Amino acid sequence: MQSTQINTANNPDNASDNNSIKKIVVVGGGIAGWLTAGRIAARHKSGTEEGVSVVLIESPGISAMGVGEGTWPTMRSTLIALGINETDFIRECNATFKQGAKFSKWVDGTDNDFYYHPLVLPQGFSKGDLAAYWLAKEQQSKVNSFSNEVCFQEAICEKGLAPKTIRTPEFDAIANYAYHLDSVKFADFLQKHCIKKLGVTYISDNVVSVNSAKDGDITSLLTKNNGDISGDLFVDCTGFSSLLLGKHYQIPFKSCKDILFIDTALAIQVAYDDEDSPIASHTLSTAQEAGWIWDIGLQHRRGVGYVYSSKHSSEEHAREILAQYVGDKFDNASVRKIPINSGHREKFWQNNCVAVGLSAGFLEPLEASALVLVELSAKMISEQLPVTRSSMDIIAKRFNETFLYRWDKIIDFLKLHYILSKRVDNSFWSENRDPNSIPQSLKDLMALWQHRSPTDNDFNSNNEIFPAASYQYVLYGMGFKSDYSHAPHLLNDWHYANQQFAQNKKLTVTAISNLPTNRELLKKVKQYGFTHL
């Protein structure tokens, strides 16, 4: 041992060993903090001698945001990467299966105005695009909605069915799915798992100040009771307070409230009638005068909230709208008001500090983008964790480029839902369609789609967040028409298209006759659990 040490010290080529990245300090113990700590710890074998050590500092007494959360199917691979068992997760986080979102009253506000953004890709999507054929069929006669004609998932959701059966192995799907989860319980669950199974060191303490080196790197954080906590990389998961990236490094915040107007949420928890009440297996999003209402079914209750623009509605009126939606169970006193400051930091990784979660930015929860950005950030940090300080700036630059791109794409995609609306009941909707409020990147895409459907070639980055299929579901769900009349030759394979439409009908019938209800499956998971294969 001793000779090795002497060798290292004597060899100037090994100087970089002195600043190898061996200790990660995560500040903040919400979902963002634990997910990031967990992914780094799982990949880099924290708790072993040769591994990278991960320390998480959480301020005692600071509560997480704690609204019901929607996730993306990526959450399944995240849980797998953390070594979590799906049955435990569902049992302990009141989680339910989510198969996409149903958007009601977004187009004209009438009662039968709705469309789905399911999680299963359109039938045969990788082999041939059905959108043009569906548009042509629709022009000639009344056909099923786009999502119904090309995907079997809407039918499953409309019947309240689950995406799999109790015989399906854990994390496997019959229909692609994500989860709805109780975020407070999920943070607790992750904490236990990270400490017990992944070797993350937990310190409950307040960060008092930041100690920096000459080059601006953070060397340590001074805590109230545990002295200086040193580290090689610091992850800022301090929520809206953005303690390190925002307060310490003064990285400016880039607001996008000129594009997305929503700035307030009123959230409430709603009990089920009884323990057998159906649980929707999709997120309900119902447009209102100055925003929209989310409705997420967990195992033991629903989480409901009205997100609106305070410029276009008074709080009092917003409460009335929420009360009307919730009905008898509404209790004005238990409504929580949460400000939404839509936007993100101008960069996310500065020196040896990277922000994940609300400290990096936040947007209205329209397509559940918050947790997926946390997952993607945690994944990239853990997979690309620099070995030495000297390579960190390269990773930081790439991280910043990747995530700036992703934020922009999410903003575009959220805005898409607003510009396609034809609602006229409040200036909230007409102002949303004002070209000045639409990013140029989205205008460009809309110009292309005048004459053809979205394809994956429209999104050519490795860091794409929404596939072309998602744009198709929203565009054609909301009544947008791509005009193929200039190029009828593109519709040259009706045989293939009809085969796919027929296949989708077949899959729909099979799925509906074999799947249990969401509630039934959840009860079985609680009683028996999923097997591993």
Partner 1 sequence: MANLVAVDSKSHKDIKINNTLVEAHGKNLHLVPAVLAEFTHIALQQPIVLTKNGETGQFVCAGMFGFEEGENLFWQNQQWQGLYLPLQIQRQPFFIGEVPIQPGKEIKRENDDFLVCIDTNSPAISTTEGESLFSAKGEETPYFKQAKNCLVQIIQGELDNQMLIEQLQEMVLIQPISLEITFINKKQTRLNGLYTIDKEKLAALNHEKIFKLHQLGLLLPIHIMIASLGQIYSLIDKKNKQLAHN
Q: Which is nearer to partner 1, 166 or 404 (CB)?
A: 166
Report helix, strand or coil for 323: helix
Sheet hosting strand 264-271, strand order edge to edge: 114-118, 100-104, 283-288, 291-297, 301-308, 264-271, 336-339
In terms of CB distance, is 166 or 338 closer to partner 1? 166
Could you tell me which stretch among 94-102, 159-167, 202-210, 275-283 binds partner 1 (CB under 8 A)? 159-167
| Residue 166 near partner 1 by CB under 8 A | yes
Q: For residue 97, state whether it binds partner 1 (rule: CB under 8 A).
A: no
Strand 201-204 versus strand 207-212 pairing type: unpaired
Query: Per CB under 8 A, does 517 bind partner 1?
Result: no
Cβ 527 to partner 1 shortest distance, Å? 7
Under DSSP, the state recorded for 141 is S
∠ CA 430-321-255, rounded to 5°: 50
Stretch of residues binding partner 1 (CB under 8 A), selected from 38-46, 166-174, 310-318, 339-347: 166-174
- Per rule CB under 8 A, is residue 527 in the interface with partner 1? yes
528 binds partner 1 (CB under 8 A): yes
Q: Report the nearest approach of partner 1 to the CB of residue 528 (Å).
A: 4
**Helices 440-449 & 468-477, crossing angle to 10 degrees?**
70
What gap in Å lies between CA 37 and CA 319, rounded to an integer?
38
Binding of residue 253 to partner 1 (CB under 8 A) = no
Nearer to partner 1, 261 or 530 (CB): 530
Position 83 contacts partner 1 (CB under 8 A): no
Q: Using CA atoms, how far apart are residues 175 and 13, in angstroms rounded to an integer?
A: 54
Q: Residue 395 belongs to what H/E stretch?
A: helix 392-419
Do residues 176 and 293 make contact, with C-beta atoms less than 8 angstroms apart? no
Instruction: Find the shortest distance in angstroms from Cβ 518 to partner 1.
Output: 15
Task: Name the one range near partner 1 by CB under 8 A: 21-29, 129-137, 162-170, 254-262.
Answer: 162-170
Q: Give the amino acid at 529.
A: G
Q: Which residue has the tokens 């580290």?
A: 231
- Residue 474 or 525 with smaller CB distance to partner 1: 525
Question: Taking contact as CB under 8 A, which single stretch among the options 61-69, 164-172, 227-235, 304-312 is the one that binds partner 1?
Answer: 164-172
**What is the nearest approach in angstroms of partner 1 to the Cβ of residue 80?**
15
> Contact, 475 vs 420, CB < 8 A?
yes
Half-sphere exposure of 504 (CA within 13 A, CB side): 27
494 vs 528, beta carbon nearer partner 1: 528
Nearest-angstrom CA–CA distance, 244 and 252: 12
Could you say whether residue 531 binds partner 1 (CB under 8 A)? yes
Question: Is 432 exposed, middle or buried, given 0-12, 13-18 or 19+ CB atoms closer than 10 A?
Answer: buried
In what helix (H) or strand (E) does residue 305 lie, and over which residues does it extend?
Answer: strand 301-308
Which strands, in side-by-side order, build the sheet including 343-345?
253-255, 343-345, 361-362
Does residue number 513 form part of the binding site for partner 1 (CB under 8 A)?
no
Min dist CB 174 to partner 1, Å, is 13
Options 119-127, 199-207, 457-465, 523-531: segment touching partner 1 (CB under 8 A): 523-531
User: Does the footprint of partner 1 cover residue 197 (CB under 8 A)?
Assistant: no
Which of 127, 142, 167, 489 binds partner 1 (CB under 8 A)? It is 167
* Amino acid in position 86: E
Q: Going residue by residue from 2 to 41, which x/- string records binding to partner 1, judged by CB under 8 A?
A: ----------------------------------------
Residue that the structure tokens 């015989």 belong to? 167
Residue ranges of alpha helices (H) inside 420-467 are: 427-432, 440-449
| Token pair recorded at residue 91 | 């049992």
Interface with partner 1, residue 311, by CB under 8 A: no
Contact stretch for partner 1 (CB under 8 A) within 54-62, 109-117, 420-428, 520-528: 520-528
Closest distance of CB 167 from partner 1, Å: 4
Q: Write the CA distances from 460 to 121, 146, 468, integer angstroms.
A: 18, 25, 10
Report, in this order, helix, strand and coil percent for the chain, each rounded to 5.
40, 20, 40
Judged by CB, which is closer to partner 1: 481, or 532?
532
168 sits near partner 1 (criterion: CB under 8 A): yes
Region near partner 1 per CB under 8 A, out of 142-150, 165-173, 226-234, 412-420 = 165-173
Size of the site for partner 1 (CB under 8 A): 12
The answer to whether 530 contacts partner 1 (rule: CB under 8 A) is yes
Residues interacting with partner 1, by CB under 8 A?
165-168, 524, 527-533
